[in-house]
Amino acid sequence: MLEVQGVRVDPATRRVWVAEEEVAFSRKEFDLLHALISRAGQVVSRDDLMRDVWQTTFWTSSKTIDVHLGWIRRKLGDDSRRPHLITTLRGKGLRFETQAPVRSG
């Protein structure tokens, strides 16, 4: 069982909970979430995600990851404009944050 910032992922049963509520994910959504949360705190490149989640080294579409990421963020309640769970590091990849950023103001 993996748990980071109140998101629990059970790789054995392919189930996900946010706080205490179970949330349904498609197969690819789960695979992408698992690829990120299993490396929480680390930047995971888009190339690595395409290889690990889609088992391909070529990009079928540059938006494939973004579309699935949008669905995952929505299901996790992660605001895409100010994400606290999964952040995008332009030119580097994605990272599942180990803790919510401190917001000023």
pLDDT in tens, 3-31: 999 999 999 999 999 999 999 999 999 99
Q: Where are the beta strands (DSSP E) in 5-46?
A: 7-10, 15-18, 21-23
Cα–Cα distance, 103 to 46 (Å, whole number)? 27
Q: What is the CATH number of domain 2-96?
A: 1.10.10.10
The mean pLDDT of the chain is 92
pTM for the whole thing? Answer: 0.92
Mean predicted confidence (pLDDT) in 65-85: 94
Q: Where are the beta strands (DSSP E) in 14-101?
A: 15-18, 21-23, 86-89, 93-96
What DSSP character marks residue 94? Answer: E
pLDDT of residue 103: 61
Top-confidence residue, 55 or 21: 21
Mean predicted confidence (pLDDT) in 28-56: 95
Other C-beta atoms closer than 10 Å to the C-beta of 53 total 22
What DSSP character marks residue 98? Answer: S
